[in-house]
Amino acid sequence: MRHRRSAWLLSVVVFGYAFLHAPILLLIAYSFNESRLVTVWTGFSTHWYQALFANPQLLAAARLSLAIAAASAGGAVVLGTLGAVVLARLGSFRGRGLFAFANAAPLVMPEIITGLALLLLFVALDRTLGWPDGRGALTIALAHMTVATAYASVIVRSRLTALDPSLEEAALDLGATPLVAFFLVTVPAIWPALAAAWLLAFTLSLDDLVLASFTSGPGASTLPMVIYSSVRLGVSPQINALATILVVAVALVVGLAAWLLRRRMH
Amino acid sequence: MTGRRGLLLALPAAWLALFCVVPFAIVATISLAESVLAQPPYTPLLDWSGGGLPAWRGGLANYGLLVEDGLYVGALASALAMALAGTAGALLLGYPMAYVIAMARPGGRAVLLMLVILPFWTALLIRVYAWIAILANDGLLNRLLSALGLIEAPLALLYTPFAVWLGIVYGYLPFMVLPLYATLVRLDPDLLEAAADLGCRPLAAFLRVTLPLSMPGVLAGSLLVFIPAAGEFVIPDLLGGPDTLLIANLMWLEFFTNRDWPLASALAVTLLALLVGPILLLQRARGDGA
């Protein structure tokens, strides 16, 4: 299909990409600005980055965010894979429609509703079972896991659907138990999808403000929560520097995930 | 084998029930309670104090308040209108982008696609924050416009409904482009060739062949923007002003500032009730919730 691309079409698309990327590129540029003023360029400096690493509150929030992201991504990959196997391999069963719906619901639900619902769940569990005993890192991680599981399940399922089921069947015919066949045949074939799902679940958790705000307790502030409370006080070059680090880290992780997903299946 | 199937199903099903179904039932229940100064700040729905059978203490008072107080109805209407306007903006900008990506050569396509996927995964908080420095009265856009001699006094852009609309188009553009691209890239190029062979001009071929065939993508993309945008909190909070209080801002205010959890729950239930139609439509458009 060879099209004479009109100048009009091209200019709309160039505008679209500029619109999508210029704000973040400007934010990155101004994180190296010497001045405290965020919109006047006075000279190149890295002192806002140095200030970040001297801020114990930020470092503690960063450590907490990374720990929550790693743990919730791990849980999300395990549960998302189970959900994907159920939907891709079990065929039909009673309640399949409801299962598929609940599995995908967190993908589209406005975060503010999910956040409130999960908080109320944790409060109700606390009152009836005495668990999770207050709110903090654990409840934030569970909330992130809930949403990330839905994403992980979509990623793993598309890989499972593309995988020839006769490989697993051959292993079963040769006497492997389903569990052995899964770990020796399926997992080696779909591992790039598992790794990509983990990476993307990790970035979801690292980026989240709304779910964490609802499900956090006193003393547990993630990086986005710290950024949000200082953003409310106004734009500052130090926040630009912190945002730059986060944006670059996420870009590297997403790039790696995309590369894994593009690899040919063997 | 059935036993094994049951075992495989049990864990994810139990997880989904506990974290994706029960929480919404709890929200609906608590929306019927009353707010009190206690820990947790709502009244129990069953009163056991009378001995014997408990008395039911729930009611629709919170919903009555929502209907009577124009503030909530207004915020709900503005949220839906803003989400609709944002969806229209994202469609107008996103369609040409998805079209060009789908028509690009494979190498260029991967790069163009990656440049849409990257913002999808970048924190919305940071992406929206970046606009404050651009839209402020002494921001980059006003400086640029006055340096070009186009304006004499700075334009008031930040903290306006325009800024919120812009933020929604910007924030959710990737949600529009990706499903549109997925539909457009699967279109059979022979169809357009056939149209051209039969004497159809490119514009007419687009309107009569490409556009109708891409409607599933338009629908999926529009719903993927509209549903989360209707409950969007960060964008109106950072870019909006007092006259752009959307439903999510009120929910946040009721929950965190006024600690009125039952009222916040009633707002959540109302918003969800309005979105359940679009959500079901989206699930059907994408097939089996994938």
Interface test with B, best of A10, A108, A126, A245 (most B CBs within 10 A): A108
pLDDT of residue B50: 67
Mean local confidence (pLDDT), B176-199: 89
Beta-carbon contacts of B117 under 8 Å, excluding residues fewer than 6 positions away, are A254, A258, B174, B178
Q: Tell whether domain B69-188+215-286 is in CATH 1.10.3720.10.
A: yes
> For residue B55, is it left (φ>0), alpha (ψ between -120 and 50) or beta?
beta
pLDDT of residue A196: 93
pLDDT of residue A26: 93
Q: Do A103 and B130 touch (CB under 8 A)?
A: no
Domain assignment present for A35:
no
Q: Do A99 and B16 touch (CB under 8 A)?
A: yes
Domain assignment present for A20:
no
User: What are the residue boundaries of the structural domains of chain B, listed by start?
Assistant: 69-188+215-286
Q: Do A101 and B170 touch (CB under 8 A)?
A: no
Asked if the peptide bond before residue A237 counts as cis, ω within 30 degrees of 0, the response is no
Mean local confidence (pLDDT), B263-275: 93
Domain assignment present for A157:
yes
For residues A224 and A216, the answer to whether their CB atoms sit within 8 Å is no
**pLDDT exceeds 60 at position B252:** yes
Domain assignment present for A8:
no
How many angstroms separate the CA of residue B27 from the nearest CA in chain A?
Answer: 6
Closest CA relative to residue A76, chosen from A132, A150, A17, A20: A150
Write the pLDDT tens digit of every residue in B153-185: 889 999 999 999 999 999 999 999 999 999 999
**pLDDT exceeds 90 at position B235:** yes
Check residue B18 and report its DSSP letter. I
Residue of B nearest to A242 (CA): B126
**pLDDT exceeds 70 at position B220:** yes
Dihedral of alpha carbons B80, B82, B84, B87, sign: negative
CATH of residue A191: 1.10.3720.10
What stretches in chain A show pLDDT beneath 70?
Answer: 1-5, 264-266
Q: Give φ, ψ of A83 to 5 degrees.
A: -60, -40
Instruction: Provide, for chain B, the percentages of residues in helix, strand and coil under a 3-state DSSP scheme, each rounded to the nearest 5.
Output: 75, 0, 25
Residue B287 pLDDT level (bands cut at 50, 70, 90): low
Residue B290 pLDDT level (bands cut at 50, 70, 90): very low
Distance, in Å, from the CA atom of A85 to the CA atom of B201, rounded to the nearest integer, reads: 48
Domain assignment present for A133:
yes
Contacts of B112 in chain A (CB under 8 A): 17
Interface test with A, best of B125, B225, B232 (most A CBs within 10 A): B125
pLDDT of residue A4: 54
Between B5 and B288, the more confident residue is: B5
Residue B2 pLDDT level (bands cut at 50, 70, 90): low
Domain assignment present for A236:
yes
Distance, in Å, from the CA atom of A218 to the CA atom of A121, rounded to the nearest integer, reads: 18
Q: Which of B130, B133, B233 sits opposite A210 (nearest CB)?
A: B233
pTM of the entire predicted model: 0.90
Domain assignment present for A175:
yes
Residue of A nearest to B40 (CA): A123
Domain span at residue A155 reads: 43-262
Please give the mean pLDDT across all residues of chain B: 88
Q: Do A16 and B173 touch (CB under 8 A)?
A: yes
For residues A152 and A197, the answer to whether their CB atoms sit within 8 Å is yes
DSSP-derived secondary structure for B184-224: HTTS-HHHHHHHHHTT--HHHHIIIIIHHHTHHHHHHHHHH
What's the number of domains chain A is made of?
Answer: 1
Residue of A nearest to B239 (CA): A232
Domain assignment present for A11:
no
pLDDT of residue A6: 79
- Asked if the ipTM is above 0.95, the reply is no
Residue of A nearest to B262 (CA): A120
pLDDT of residue A266: 44
For residues A222 and A65, the answer to whether their CB atoms sit within 8 Å is yes
